[in-house]
Amino acid sequence: MDSQAVRQLYDTLQRYAGWLDRERSSVQVRADVVALGAALESSTDPGPPLQSLETNLSRLPGSDLRKMLRTVAGKLRHAVEHQP
């Protein structure tokens, strides 16, 4: 995948994270998304922020939004792992 596809996936992830409530686990997910964006922007390893994001996503209450976030995070992980 190219960097444009990664950027689109990140933008979608960021938009979905903005829909979360203000509870602690939601705040952690939004912070992980910001850290992931910083890693992608600076071309550093996005692995640690992605791992933290996936861990904190599992702490969210089960909902359609959680499923949407996990799906996009999985696609983003796949995209960055298979980037040239």
pLDDT at 54 over 90: yes
**Residue numbers of the domain that contains 38:** 3-81
Percent of the chain residues past pLDDT 90, beyond the cut: 82
* Contact yes or no for 50/80 (Cβ under 8 A): yes
User: Domain total for the chain?
Assistant: 1
Reported pTM: 0.91
pLDDT at 1 over 60: no
pLDDT of residue 3: 86
